[in-house]
Amino acid sequence: MDGKLHLEHGWQMTYDLRGKKSLDGWVHTSRLIPLSRNESIPVTATADGFTCQKNGMGVRIKSERFNYKKEKHLFTHDQYGLSHYRGKEMFGTDGTIPFSHYREIAFFRNGKTQIAPRAQYDHLFNPYFEKAGDNTQLSHCYYRAKDDTLFLTTVIGDGAAYTEVLFVFRQGILKNVLASLHPEV
């Protein structure tokens, strides 16, 4: 899903129906609820990624270098370069070889950890983690108690452009991963 602000009345939206076609239209601002209206959870750097946690609940993200040589056969190309990984549209590169990726995404609460299936996010490349703290300034975490939903926003990219990513955890399970090129690109 991609959105562009239009004056003060709404957002122009494009919703991709899993590569089949797109729906375009407008959503009035009265129908949008900013994530920031939910409880904010602090984001803290770790040696290999970051966490957002509060009161024994949160998300842990681990990143690492990507071994393209080992995974090369899982990529497909288009006229611009690399375009798909394991059959899914890639995000975080401009068609170039990825240099990093998410190693693990896990939700934790009260001493229990639920690791998200890698297939949900394995097409997202180049999270910022060159030095501790890189991702903490670019990531935000919010919790909505009424339906036990945690939202994590972050960015990925290789420099020329970047992609905004929203991870939605409902009742401790990663339900949605939405990636969209930043509207200013």
- Residue scoring higher pLDDT (3 or 179): 179
Mean pLDDT of 24-45: 85
Q: Give the pLDDT confidence of 61-99 residue by residue, as tens digits.
A: 999 999 999 999 999 999 989 999 999 999 999 889 999
- Residue scoring higher pLDDT (38 or 13): 38
Q: Are 126 and 146 in contact (CB under 8 A)?
A: no
Q: Are 150 and 107 in contact (CB under 8 A)?
A: yes
- In angstroms, the first-to-last Cα distance of the chain is 15
State how far the Cα of 102 lies from the Cα of 122, in Å rounded to an integer: 7
- Residue scoring higher pLDDT (15 or 7): 15
**What is the per-residue pLDDT for 16?**
65
Q: Give the pLDDT confidence of 112-162 residue by residue, as tens digits.
A: 999 999 999 999 999 875 554 555 677 899 999 999 999 999 989 876 668
Mean pLDDT of 12-38: 75
User: Does residue 5 have a pLDDT over 60?
Assistant: no
What are the residues facing 169 on neighbouring strands? 150, 174
If you search the block for the tokens 């959503």, which residue do you land on? Answer: 27
**What is the per-residue pLDDT for 151?**
96
If you search the block for the tokens 């690791």, which residue do you land on? Answer: 115
**What is the per-residue pLDDT for 28?**
78
Helix (H) or strand (E) holding 71: helix 68-71
State how far the Cα of 116 lies from the Cα of 112, in Å rounded to an integer: 13
**What is the per-residue pLDDT for 48?**
87
